[in-house]
Amino acid sequence: MAKNQKRTWRQQFMDNFKILTRSHDKWEVWSDFVHLAACTISNVFDKRFYDQREQRYLEIIQKYNKEEAALFAELLAITIIALDENPAQDFLGQIHQQELELGNYANGSFYTPYHVGEMMAELGAMDVMPEVLEEEYISVNDCCCGAGCLLIAFANTLLKHKVNYQTKVLFVAQDIDFTAAMACYIQLSFLGCAGYVVVGNSLSNAEPPPESIWYTPFYFRNIWVDRRRDAHWKHMFRILLTNGVEKTPM
């Protein structure tokens, strides 16, 4: 039943998507959808680059008429419902790879099938489970995240082991492809994963510019805000211990 329901949401997504491709390029519509959705999510919770992302949203949506613009909202709603009913899937990755056939060997944009991600997550969870249970929280990083398959699978694997990933795991993702990174950001956001997605080259040692980091809504939950504050003060305390406290002249 779950499999049939998943297919139903994918089909409904494609029905709406195909209307948009009657007068727009398929890749352009896909890229615009994930960009619009990501800006919508980000600007509710992360105000650092609100104006910049809102301006980008307006630039994109102006290419479409009123009826087409409404279809983007429906695509986002379908994505939310699909992930809510079945969190154990890479919904947008499957749309990209299977339904739209946008995989490209030339740029390496082929996403990991979800069942492969599940196997890898199970193996990884076996190694880190003692740490997960012992530590306050752990972080997990996918430096070539695609639409987030491996991180989604890891989150669902922890659920199978009765571990609440929303409070026990900080999810970090990165991809050089902006569209892939935004698809990952959307899915991590709606699955309640606290963390962030970086758009950039993982092989570069350069510090990513702040505007390339997209924080998920759950990153702003009080529990994670408190942890960041505690980590900051611990870091400052270590600096004081290392460098010494400079005496103020009398």
pLDDT (0 to 100) of residue 108: 56
Spatial CA neighbour of 219 closest among 196, 238, 242, 187: 196
Q: What is the pLDDT of residues 223-233, one digit of tens each?
A: 999 999 988 77
Q: Cα–Cα–Cα angle for 203, 52, 187, nearest 5°?
A: 60
Phi and psi for 126 in degrees, rounded to 5?
Answer: -60, -35
Phi-psi sector, 101: left (phi>0), alpha (psi -120 to 50), beta: left
Spatial CA neighbour of 188 closest among 230, 207, 169, 216: 216
Q: What is the pLDDT of residues 115-130, one digit of tens each?
A: 999 999 988 888 888 8
Mean pLDDT for 101-115 is 72
Name residue 126's amino acid: M
Q: What is the pLDDT of residues 36-90, one digit of tens each?
A: 999 999 999 999 999 999 999 999 999 999 999 999 999 999 999 999 999 999 9
pLDDT (0 to 100) of residue 6: 47
Q: What is the pLDDT of residues 169-198, one digit of tens each?
A: 999 999 999 999 999 999 999 999 999 999
Report the alpha-carbon distance of residue 186 to residue 210 in Å, rounded: 19
Name the 3-class secondary structure at 171. strand
Comparing 233 with 25, the larger pLDDT belongs to: 25
CA atoms within 13 A on the CB side of 162: 1
Task: Supply the pTM of this predicted model.
Answer: 0.89
